[in-house]
Structure 1
């Protein structure tokens, strides 16, 4: 594989996007994401898919520049639904401050939608997902539980109000949190998506560090707690549990918190690792964000390879 010193972040680091240096003061961020519908309303699906795809640019500390549609759609299905998907996506790109400049479509029996997104960042101000330091506080910018609620709603097991709370989270751009956190010292950042809080935090910690989380501080969508209590859980959450549970200790055990940490999030929040004094410097402004960030725990030195990498107390 050809090595290029200007490729600052590539596929080898399991990060949220690729970053390529153009000059001493400018680097380009490239990312893409698309998936099938998780909601029935095509307009909301377009908004959620676009919000999710755009998020990786902010996770890297950048700003959105352009976006292109990625579309898979049945060749005999009503095109009005596709128009609503594209309308929802275009509105979110515009809200992000980006320019929608085209795309590509194919026929597929299962509809899918997302974006290929380009962003810009200063080469010295990139947020990677693997540069945490001992003592960092962990800040989460959106509540957990969108996966559980969406699944329960599709099965008729939760209310319209609960579903709309989840939709509000899934359609809130991470831009607003990013704009604030970029003004402070940040050591690492990622967005919480398919691997859930547990999986993405483990990626951030690597082999050297651990984390202690306080379950009372975890932001949770209100109805998500009830859904977990009634075992209305997701298949993706059980896959995450199987993969990641061996690295986490819950003291004491708490099934509801476990499910919410393993729950895959669609268009989840940003998870920041930063010095506590850096967080305190922006804390007053953070109350004006769509969701107030939660200090959920701290990064600690990993004492041994046998110890759990995350402890939830």
Structure 2
């Protein structure tokens, strides 16, 4: 879809600090020497049938874009598409309750929204936040010598599909996966901001390689991802081995294939496919100096956050993505 932006004239306002040119997570506009405004919007289709879980996960997914820019969410507007003639309005109420509870947890205010009738439920938030103009974190600041830390496991996309096809038990998804997906990236980012954080993005629909590629491209560096260090949800790799996949894997592979990409290790089909698995409300990918990484990992673990060192940044004249 990003190709649709080609040919559009970019904004020239000097106070627009972050626009769409680097595929960043949100836009940032300078209001004063002390305050910049963060704007983002996101909505998704239901990953699970439970409407309250759907509301929580979608809200956490939307709010994450403010955290990934180093900011604090202030207000949120509901974005709702709902088949009112086919589904009970009590379902919509549960979706909105899940979203509202997550907004409150984030310390923001739910101030309204917009609803349209549609054939399939969709829900998300337009979120506004603030950040100091000199402390914005983008996906374009990674530096050679940095290490990469990921703060949530991977593989939620294939697990959602596996539940629908009956290959994976919903009870296990609800116990082990949904609470992580519904958790805010607030604590992870607040912890990371104690260090010299160079770049950040959250891992969502493009998968780990797609979003690592965006960081490499925006930063004009190379990124090496260590496959053996990647954390996966229990059962995710096994689902790929059993033939399950997602509707986004092929497109995500095509995206990565447009850039210099090297696979230095020998991987089976399942091990390779999970690299393209689309995430919903995924973790943060953090880039910071190697000498600070171990202390940040310890701090994240102390906060009960699943965190792993998954790669490194290296210098190069062009974007490069390597899997080892």
Aligning the two structures, in what range does the TM-score lie when normalised by the shorter sequence?
over 0.9
C-alpha distance in 2, partners of 1:267/1:212? 23
The residue aligned with 1:12 is 21
Q: How does 1:1-313 map to 2 (within 5 A)?
A: 2-76=11-85, 77-164=87-174, 165-206=176-217, 208-245=220-257, 247-302=261-316, 309-313=320-324
| CA deviation after TM superposition for structure 1 residue 303, in Å | 5.9
Counterparts of 1:304 and 1:90 in 2: how far apart (Å)? 43
TM-score (norm 1): 0.94
Residue 96 (structure 1) shift: 0.7
- Which moved further from structure 2: 95-104 or 288-297? 288-297
1:127-176 Cα offsets, whole Å, 9 max, x none, are 11111111110010000000011110111111234312221221111111
What 5-or-longer segments of structure 1 have no aligned partner? none
Detail structure 1 runs of 4+ shifted over 4 Å in the superposition.
Answer: none
Distance 2:206 2:84 in 1: 32
Between the aligned partners of 1:223 and 1:187, the Cα distance in structure 2 is 33
Q: Secondary structure at the match of 1:39?
A: coil
How many residues of Structure 1 are paired with residues of Structure 2 in the alignment? 310
Partner residue of 2:3? none
In structure 2, C-alpha distance between the alignment counterparts of 1:221 and 1:262, rounded to whole Å: 14
Equivalent residue of 1:58, what SS? Answer: helix
The alignment's TM-score, normalised by the length of structure 2, stands at: 0.91
- Structure 2 gaps of 5+ residues are 1-8
Name whichever of 32-41 and 162-171 sits farther off. Answer: 162-171
State the shift of 1:229 in Å: 1.5
